[in-house]
Homo-oligomer: A and B are copies of this chain.
């Protein structure tokens, strides 16, 4: 199976000047650019844990497996260079190449959009469930990567996009914020820290705080809540309003996860300028600021402050 699939795959991948040697040798060769650091991220998705092959289309799964890695690169402010895609493929009792081709077909448009061609991988068959393991290599100017650990008290907390309810479909179809990250980099915007929201807005924010040795105070009235969190009217006459979960829209925005938006720590003046000019195609919103005191807090309209427990998907 592997040989024929690899022939198909090699033909499906456009040539790249950054990849003098791609699929087919013992390893791939990538051209380095002077003044850059290599950025590497890897994610493994497994049937029954991260998705259900019986509920999700392979084209969507292939796309998502690449997209989550690209989102990690965006959170570093890094440019994608190449992807390495490995599969453990279950026997579906029909054409063996059908599943890996669908997975690849799902991710190829995203790879093309963000100039991140497949440069290698490992395709295997077995009797277990589907496993997709993708490693993405990127690059960033030396010293310009956005770490989780650089947030400073007083920095504004900016977020791209809106949060909550991704389970209704966005968790498969989201666009990783690579373009926005590269735009901020090319504008020379001073970003002290960043993370992408995979496990939950409040939980991932708390990870920046933990890495930076600071806290964060949120004004919950400013959280951009995605329409996907809205209660669905399920009855034909519209009389029955049902929440799909027991979470309120705000709770969903704070804890659902898989939004794959960026949280950015930027100095107050920079935050103000970004909010005014809105230079990205996607809205930027300030939801609070980093504090010297550890822990997450929420500031109420009357100015009082209460603790806020970070919530989301704990591994």
Chain A residues within CB distance 8 Å of chain B: 1-3, 20-21, 24-32, 34, 36-44, 46-49, 72-73, 75-76, 78, 82, 84, 86-88, 119-122, 124-129, 131, 133, 135, 137-138, 140, 145, 147-149, 194-196, 211, 315
Bound-state CA distance A251–B3 (Å) is 24
Verify B38–A147 contact, CB threshold 8 A. Answer: no
Verify A195–B26 contact, CB threshold 8 A. Answer: yes
Chain copies in complex: 2
Q: Give the secondary structure class of A's interface.
A: strand
Provide the residues of chain B in CB contact with A133, threshold 8 Å: 42, 44, 86, 122, 131, 133
Provide the residues of chain B in CB contact with A315, threshold 8 Å: 1-3, 124
Which residue of the partner chain B has the closest CB to A85?
B42
Q: Which of B49, B120, B194 contacts A42 (CB 8 A)?
A: B120
Provide the residues of chain B in CB contact with A124, threshold 8 Å: 44, 46, 49, 315
Q: Which of B26, B43, B137 contacts A122 (CB 8 A)?
A: B43
Q: Which of B21, B34, B40, B42 contacts A34 (CB 8 A)?
A: B34
Provide the residues of chain B in CB contact with A86, threshold 8 Å: 42-44, 133
Verify A75–B26 contact, CB threshold 8 A. Answer: yes
Verify B30–A37 contact, CB threshold 8 A. Answer: yes
Bound-state CA distance A315–B41 (Å) is 27
Min CB distance A267 to B, Å, is 21
Min CB distance A282 to B, Å, is 19
Verify A37–B44 contact, CB threshold 8 A. Answer: no
Verify A40–B147 contact, CB threshold 8 A. Answer: no
- From A2, A25, A78, name the one whose CB has the most chain B CB atoms within 10 angstroms: A25
Which residue of the partner chain B has the closest CB to A130?
B128
User: Can you show 24 pairs from A to B with CB atoms below 8 A apart?
Assistant: A3-B315, A21-B145, A26-B73, A26-B196, A27-B39, A27-B40, A27-B72, A28-B40, A29-B37, A29-B38, A29-B140, A32-B32, A32-B38, A34-B34, A42-B86, A42-B122, A42-B135, A43-B122, A44-B87, A46-B124, A46-B126, A48-B126, A49-B126, A131-B131
Known: A32-B36, A88-B46. A41 touches B27 (CB 8 A): yes
Verify A48–B137 contact, CB threshold 8 A. Answer: no
- From A24, A29, A49, name the one whose CB has the most chain B CB atoms within 10 angstroms: A29
Bound-state CA distance A140–B31 (Å) is 11
Provide the residues of chain B in CB contact with A138, threshold 8 Å: 27
Which residue of the partner chain B has the closest CB to A204?
B26
Bound-state CA distance A46–B87 (Å) is 10
Verify B88–A44 contact, CB threshold 8 A. Answer: yes
Q: Which of B41, B43, B87, B120 contacts A40 (CB 8 A)?
A: B120
